[in-house]
Chains A and B, each alone.
Chain A
Amino acid sequence: MTEHVLAGVPAGRASWLHHYANPGRFLRLAQPVLPWAAAFSIALTVTGLVWGFFFAPADWEQGIASRIMYVHVPAAWVAMAGYAALAVCSFFSIVWRHPLADLAAEEIGPVGAGFTAVCLVSGSLWGKPMWGAYWVWDARLTSVLVLFFLYLGHIALIRAFDNPAHGHRAAAILALVGAVNLPIIVFSVQWWNTLHQGNTISFSGNSKIYITMLYPLLIASVGFYLCFLTLVAARMSAAIMERRTRNLLLAAAERGA
């Protein structure tokens, strides 16, 4: 079975993939980590949001409206990272039939869609005082709206078939095709003349943000990423346990019959 499923993968990597593809092993690894991950994600998120809301300095141009950044930017980053994770899981699902990949994809969808909705709503509330409009059909805003619809499409498609395997396969194809939207979101502010501001933070060292604003932003971002990971891991663990309960009940019913 292993040889068939992981054909074409070098032996070392194949065994590594197969090792972590086991839902039972994932559950044993995740269960002790989850309370700690939840505690860290809550602590970091609360610290970042409280710092951003009460103590972060006002921007010289945007005033206190810049405080929306501490929820908007982390939500946007997590929305995009979540979709990238969805695409990776879909790749694993299509190529190697990784049992956990389908499960992860199913649970990433609703969480990622929620973060994308937060990004859109907070961006809209930022846009009204800055641009005079809640919404403009700007390249960055439109591409993030497309991301939200891709998430919704994935959520619907993965649950649309009587045979779950068909749903997983169709949704994985949608997720992989939709991944083309990610570079469009990232580079939209460079490729087109957008009302949305350009990238403020750069990992190459050319960040245009003052350090007193950067710290709460980074703390909130790490908190949001941890929240996302914890939520997805908890939902995956719950799904594995629900599946096991269903199988046990079915087995008991068959024995009874």
Chain B
Amino acid sequence: MNLAPFIDGSYGVTVLFLAGIGLLTWTRYRRAVKRLRAVEKTR
């Protein structure tokens, strides 16, 4: 049995998940910082 697709699949899913959630979290964090700064400036 060719095991490569199962190993590649496992690592692929893991890397996609980590990269995806990392990117989403980073985007949300940056947006929150920018919005807070903008609102605090207008006070």
- Residues in chain A within 8 A of chain B (CB atoms): 34, 45, 49, 53, 63-65, 67-68, 71-72, 75, 110-111, 114-115, 117-118, 121-122, 125-126, 128-129, 227, 231, 234-235, 237-239, 241-242, 244-245, 248-249, 252
Q: How far is the CA of A39 from the CA of B4 in the complex (A)?
A: 30
- Residues in chain B within 8 A of chain A (CB atoms): 1, 3-4, 6-7, 9-11, 13-15, 17-18, 21-22, 25-26, 28-29, 31-33, 35-36, 39-40, 42-43
Partner of A53, one of B6, B11, B22, B33: B11
Q: What are 27 contact pairs spanning A and B, CB under 8 A?
A: A49-B11, A49-B14, A64-B3, A64-B7, A65-B3, A65-B6, A68-B6, A68-B10, A72-B10, A110-B21, A111-B21, A117-B17, A118-B14, A118-B17, A121-B9, A126-B6, A227-B22, A231-B22, A234-B29, A235-B25, A235-B28, A239-B32, A241-B32, A244-B36, A245-B35, A245-B36, A248-B40
| CB-CB under 8 A for A129 and B3, given A227-B18, A241-B33, A241-B36 | yes
Residue numbers in B under 8 Å from A128 (CB-CB):
6
Q: How far is the CA of A249 from the CA of B3 in the complex (A)?
A: 56
Residue numbers in A under 8 Å from B40 (CB-CB):
248
Residue numbers in A under 8 Å from B26 (CB-CB):
234
Q: Are B36 and A71 in contact (CB under 8 A)?
A: no
Q: Are A125 and B10 in contact (CB under 8 A)?
A: yes
Q: How far is the CA of A63 from the CA of B1 in the complex (A)?
A: 11
Given contacts A34-B29, A45-B18, A71-B14, 7 further A-B contacts (CB under 8 A): A49-B11, A71-B11, A72-B10, A125-B13, A231-B25, A237-B32, A241-B36
Residue numbers in B under 8 Å from A237 (CB-CB):
29, 32
The 4 A-B pairs of least Cβ separation, nearest first, read A241-B32, A122-B10, A238-B32, A71-B14
| CB-CB under 8 A for A248 and B39, given A45-B18, A237-B29, A242-B32 | yes
Q: How far is the CA of A94 from the CA of B29 in the complex (A)?
A: 28
Q: Are B39 and A49 in contact (CB under 8 A)?
A: no
Q: Are B29 and A238 in contact (CB under 8 A)?
A: yes
The residue on B at minimum CB distance from A65 is: B3
Q: Are B17 and A114 in contact (CB under 8 A)?
A: yes
Closest approach, in angstroms, between the C-beta of A214 and any C-beta of chain B? 19
Residue numbers in B under 8 Å from A72 (CB-CB):
10
Q: How far is the CA of A107 from the CA of B2 in the complex (A)?
A: 39
Closest approach, in angstroms, between the C-beta of B9 and any C-beta of chain A? 5
Residue numbers in B under 8 Å from A115 (CB-CB):
17
Closest approach, in angstroms, between the C-beta of A216 and any C-beta of chain B? 13
